[in-house]
Amino acid sequence: MTEVAFHFNAPDRVAYACRLLRKAVGSGAKLVVTGLPDILKQLDAALWTFSPVDFVPHCHLESEPYVVAASPVILATSTQSVPHRQVLLNLGILVPVDFERFERVIEIVGLEDDDRRLARSRWKHYADRGYAITRHDLTLKTSQ
């Protein structure tokens, strides 16, 4: 069964996603990041600039097939036709279609009320279907 994790209280969802992707790719993971086009555009730009010494190889699903096949991180508005099924990072507002085909799903939740409200709806969706959910409160990690 797919593992589901929520990372709550991210002050900057895109910056947190960059760090999470860097760590995951460094451990050999292959990821798909879903979200609306605007947030994927922000993430794409941030992945090029967030660290002067690190680069997280990534591309959009619409890139050349050989680039998509070689990239450990795929940015996509949908999970249809994605080559990786290991980790799904959701920056979207809805539960991604076919999320259950991935080994893991990670949801990043910011501090804004709307984001938190939408995250509660996604949490309920997963819980109602019997998925065990791991909760990571980022406020607790930064205050320790």
Compute the distance between CA of residue 134 and CA of residue 140 in angstroms, rounded to an integer.
Answer: 15
Helix (H, G, I), strand (E, B) or coil at 52: coil
pLDDT, residue 141, reads 64
| pLDDT cut 70: percent of the chain above it | 97
Apex 67 CA angle, 64 and 71, nearest 5: 140
Model confidence at 43: pLDDT above 80: yes
| pLDDT cut 90: percent of the chain above it | 90
pLDDT, residue 142, reads 54
Model confidence at 102: pLDDT above 70: yes
pLDDT, residue 139, reads 87
* pTM for this model (two decimals): 0.94
Q: Which comes out higher in pLDDT, residue 135 or 141?
A: 135
Compute the distance between CA of residue 134 and CA of residue 100 in angstroms, rounded to an integer.
Answer: 16
Consecutive H or E run containing 142? helix 138-143
Q: Which fold has domain 3-143?
A: Rossmann fold (3.40.50)
Contact 139, 11 (CB under 8 A): no
Contact 14, 46 (CB under 8 A): yes
Model confidence at 143: pLDDT above 80: no
